[in-house]
Structure 1
Amino acid sequence: MAKQIHSTDPEELQSIRLLTFNTWGLKYVSKHREERLRAIADRLADPETDEDNYHVVALQEVWCESDWAYFDAVCRSNYPYRRIFKSGIITGPGLAILSKIPIDETFLYRFPVNGRPSAFFRGDWFVGKSLAVTLLKPHTSNAIPLALLNSHMHAPYAQSGDASYSTHRACQAWDLSKVVKTLTKAGYAVIQVGDLNSKPGSLPYKLFTIEGGLTDSWDVLNESNPISSVELSQMSPYDQIMKGGITCDSQLNTWRATRRLDEACRLDYALIDSNLIRPIGAKVKFTETLPPPLNCSYSDHFAFSADLLISNQNESFGGKHDRIPEKFEIYHELQSEIQKYRNETIPYQSNWRKWHFLLSLIVVILIHVGITWAAIRQPWSPVLLSLLSTVVGITGVINGMIWYFGIRSELRALQEVQLEVEDKLFSLKNE
């Protein structure tokens, strides 16, 4: 059980309790969105019902202005420092923070590799998936200042193939690890939270923990009793949460009740710089269902809470070590992942959109030539042919722009990551 925050113990006074929660706030798509998010806000806003008394709350998928306005209004007294981050074309990245610790500075890093602009039905590209960085002032007089990194990475839409977007998440994890290392060198105690859409052991996860040098707070607290994926799939839904830290696709979540036991997974994390931060407690939260008439879970994810002891300016916990052999492996794995995407997906997307654009131009010209002859035979035919010409022309131009601008931009962003990885490989080989 996590230690209580309110205590006279000097060590406990240096601890903070944070919560990360994907609220599932999609407009028109998420069921009972307004009621659910208001219930979350009300629970966080009331110190009496908010029994956990979080110092910092990181939210994802707060995509509606009205939902954030409600959070901002009702949480004002309990969380005097609040911020929502803006990006993208439609709504923004959906990232927000509520804090009892004063905010010193904020900035947003928008991922250069973030889906395809052609996949408008996915939404990730349009909302501008990003990394929201909040620099907090020291919460005690001698504590090291905190850098809270909140993100919601590109979602997978398939288990394999280009629709899995595994390459995009890997590139996002690479960028995220660079921000982590920069802030660590600047003297901040770094905490990375959010729905990272990456399972433990995946390439992005290895980039967080090996390249970024972060540690999984849940794993640290459960290192004496590690649970394999096979063991996890054979547990009851309750044990999956209590012993495995499952936050997504649990059968106990009303929105995911039909999922198989082996689909339950951990996607929401509190990753920490173990040299300056020690976890002293962690728990999956917001597992209850809302009262009638809703009778549903707060979100399609459960929340994750962690109690963290922050080092002071004169000490460290000494939990970090350089994992150079493993870095070589993940660098080559990342290079292979990007190269496969460049060899398969990029040419396919580029070629068919280019040819669609060129053929559309030819078809539009032929239709305009044919309109005169068609009008002689059927007076009404020019109307239909003009409509067809418009549709063909618009779709052709859209695909032409995606080919010439979107895919080229994506390719160059991928090439940049490859070059950065090559620099790291060269540097390691010459150390």
Structure 2
Amino acid sequence: MTDHVQQAPRPSSSTPTQLNLLTLNCWGLLHISALRTPRIAHIGHTLSTTSPPPDIVCLQELFTQQDYRAIRRATRQVLPYGKYYHSGAFGGGLAILSRWPIEESSMVPYPLNGRPTAFWRGDWYVGKGVACARVRFGPGARDVVEVFNTHTHAPYESGPKDSYICHRTAQAWELSKLLRAAAERGHLVAALGDFNMLPLSLAHRLITSHAPVRDVWRILHPDSALGPSHHPAERARGRRVPSVAFNLRENGATSNNASNTWRWNKNQRNKLRSGDPCAVDPDTPDHRGQRIDYIFVSTGHFPSRTRVGEAAAPGWVVDSASVTMTNRHPDLHVSLSDHYAVQATLRLHTPSPSTTGQDGPQTPSRPASASTSALRSGAYLAPDSPTTSTSSSDNPPPAPLDSDPDAQLHYSRSQDTSLPLPLYDEILSMIHRYTAREQRQQRWRGIHFYVSVAVWIACLVAVWFSPRNFVAFILTLVASLGLTAGVVDGLLALLFFSSELRALKEFEWEIRNTKAVASGDLVALAEEDPVIKGD
């Protein structure tokens, strides 16, 4: 007797079968970003006239509500709903625009987010975090997309002395927990923003390993660059310097592009001011172009969710992804931002009958030489993919295997939920190094406070014996300034560094616990928290 096969559920007529997502760093720093007002106005105009129109837009570095309202006015016909997120002392600059109503929203701050002592950088003062929005796009119980917009800590330093890498890693970890929780609620998940990380970096792997999401660009372009041409990971691939056109089309470069006028030298900018548009040849070598703006989505569904005897339900797949908003301001001839936008289109797809069996959906056959783990991570390199070329007329590489919608829909993360164990040790070592640094900072700033109090008292005593008024004035001034600096350092030692060290302890415990779960070490799970030196 043949088992009865139920028909796959069909989406409601009012449920969209396509979602267009877009993210852009607007470079809207008040009093710092050049030509901010006209650029922001044209960004709004471009968003309202883009074809196809975006359904959900995530914006970063939109630091004034005036700029947010300007974009809202320009896009009100295509994106009638929006939310500007408030955080920190000066605001995190995050906003989400939507075609559909936002049912729920929240702003989740990052526990580790820069240092107040680096006031000229501003990351700590803007209160960076994750802007979360729950958007309902249809009448069904699961016709919900949970959107996460973020702008992580900037990489001001590089190499082994990068003291902010621990912050960026912790932020990627916090984001991955939010994405995983949203996916477990059965909703479509989309994380967009300026992540300030390179493809397949540690932060990138944390997000794609500990949350059921994938980098849309690497789904369609798995052979894309791992960084600018001078980056060690990219140099190791032995590729030639890409052209401007190739970087946009294949590598998804959104930052430091040779075609972006805000990355030009002073002489080139002077030509722009004189009215010369300075057109860029698409074949121009692009040495510094890199991809740091991302869209991560939870494509497809888990095979375990399909019961025996049921046809596979439709799911979301990545239909296309592109770098957009590369146009310039029509009058000023400048790029609209120092970043380009990334746009991705998701499509609701029902798997073909040939890939659906009695026991649920089956993954389409893959070449025997293809690494299954590499395919799951989006790192599969098609054997016929051409090397990067400086010519914009090169033929694009053949479509990667995971661009097949059935392969995406049947994608399963059941065996790819953790990093290699040595990487957990690398993260723990990073935490220990940074913890030791912050403990030293806390100790010396505390010492500075007590020394400043002693100097202040000494200066006040010296004033009594001062032979001249100007000497008394100098002593009082030195005592006041010294005490002020000491009190600031004392407050930092007492409040900021204590808070940061506790956040580091939480981060360390979570990494240790995850490593123990991944390795099956039940003894480590039962152990008490490790004591960090200095407690």
Same fold, judged at TM 0.5 (above): yes
Distance in 2 (CA, whole Å) between partners of 1:56 and 1:324 is 28
Cα RMSD after superposing both structures:
2.4
Distance in 2 (CA, whole Å) between partners of 1:32 and 1:233 is 35
Q: 2:346 aligns with which of 291, 308, 312?
A: 308
AA paired with 1:57? V
Distance in 1 (CA, whole Å) between partners of 2:348 and 2:182 is 16
Q: Tell me the alpha carbon deviations over residues 94-137 of structure 1, each in whole angstroms, 9 at most, x when there is no partner.
A: 11011112222111111011011222221111111010111111
Aligned equivalent of 2:480: 390
Aligned equivalent of 1:254: 261
Deviation at 1:226, TM superposition (A): 4.4
Q: Tell me the alpha carbon deviations over residues 186-212 of structure 1, each in whole angstroms, 9 at most, x when there is no partner.
A: 111111110001111211101111112
Deviation at 1:74, TM superposition (A): 2.8
Deviation at 1:366, TM superposition (A): 0.8
Aligned equivalent of 1:53: 53
Aligned equivalent of 2:329: 290
Q: Tell me the alpha carbon deviations over residues 18-56 of structure 1, each in whole angstroms, 9 at most, x when there is no partner.
A: 1100000101111111111111012223xxx32231111
Q: Tell me the alpha carbon deviations over residues 403-422 of structure 1, each in whole angstroms, 9 at most, x when there is no partner.
A: 11111111110110111112
| Residue 263 in structure 1 maps to residue 288 in structure 2 | yes
Aligned equivalent of 1:429: 519
Distance in 1 (CA, whole Å) between partners of 2:448 and 2:247 is 49
Q: Which range moves more in the overlay, 177-186 or 271-280?
A: 271-280
Distance 1:368 1:310, change over 3 A: farther
Distance in 2 (CA, whole Å) between partners of 1:216 and 1:107 is 24
Deviation at 1:327, TM superposition (A): 4.6
Q: Tell me the alpha carbon deviations over residues 332-352 of structure 1, each in whole angstroms, 9 at most, x when there is no partner.
A: 222122112112x21332232
Aligned equivalent of 1:104: 103
AA paired with 2:481? V
AA paired with 1:338? I
| Residue 365 in structure 1 maps to residue 454 in structure 2 | no
Contact 1:14 1:139 survives alignment (8 Å): no
| Residue 240 in structure 1 maps to residue 247 in structure 2 | yes
Contact 1:108 1:132 survives alignment (8 Å): yes
Distance in 1 (CA, whole Å) between partners of 2:166 and 2:494 is 21
Q: 1:331 aligns with which of 387, 403, 424?
A: 424
AA paired with 2:130? L
Q: Provide the TM-score with structure 2 as the length reference.
A: 0.73
Q: What SS is found at the alignment partner of 2:425?
A: helix
Consecutive unaligned residues of structure 2, counting only runs of 5 or more, are: 1-12, 227-233, 267-284, 302-315, 351-359, 362-407, 522-535
Contact 2:84 2:96 survives alignment (8 Å): yes
Distance 1:413 1:95, change over 3 A: same
Distance 1:66 1:402, change over 3 A: same
Aligned equivalent of 1:194: 193
Contact 2:221 2:251 survives alignment (8 Å): no
Contact 2:418 2:518 survives alignment (8 Å): no
Q: What SS is found at the alignment partner of 1:61?
A: strand
Q: Provide the TM-score with structure 1 as the length reference.
A: 0.89
Deviation at 1:87, TM superposition (A): 0.8
Contact 1:233 1:261 survives alignment (8 Å): no
Percentage identity across aligned positions? Answer: 31
Distance in 2 (CA, whole Å) between partners of 1:365 and 1:372 is 11
Q: What SS is found at the alignment partner of 2:159?
A: coil
Contact 1:24 1:61 survives alignment (8 Å): yes
Contact 2:244 2:259 survives alignment (8 Å): yes
Distance 1:232 1:199, change over 3 A: farther
| Residue 410 in structure 1 maps to residue 533 in structure 2 | no
Deviation at 1:304, TM superposition (A): 0.3
AA paired with 1:331? Y
Q: What SS is found at the alignment partner of 1:308?
A: strand
Contact 1:14 1:143 survives alignment (8 Å): no
Q: Tell me the alpha carbon deviations over residues 370-409 of structure 1, each in whole angstroms, 9 at most, x when there is no partner.
A: 11112x2x22221222111111011110011111111111
Q: What SS is found at the alignment partner of 1:184?
A: helix
Contact 2:142 2:187 survives alignment (8 Å): no
Q: What SS is found at the alignment partner of 1:250?
A: coil
Contact 2:16 2:138 survives alignment (8 Å): no
Aligned equivalent of 2:318: 279
| Residue 420 in structure 1 maps to residue 510 in structure 2 | yes
Consecutive unaligned residues of structure 1, counting only runs of 5 or more, are: 1-9
Contact 1:287 1:297 survives alignment (8 Å): yes
Deviation at 1:175, TM superposition (A): 0.7
Q: What SS is found at the alignment partner of 2:465?
A: helix
AA paired with 1:390? S
Distance 1:297 1:233, change over 3 A: farther
Aligned equivalent of 2:441: 349
Q: What SS is found at the alignment partner of 1:136?
A: strand
Equivalent residues in 2 for 1:215-230 (5 A)? Answer: 215-223=214-222, 225-227=223-225, 229-230=234-235
Q: What SS is found at the alignment partner of 1:263?
A: coil
Distance in 2 (CA, whole Å) between partners of 1:118 and 1:227 is 35
Q: 2:31 aligns with which of 28, 33, 36?
A: 28
Q: What SS is found at the alignment partner of 1:191?
A: strand
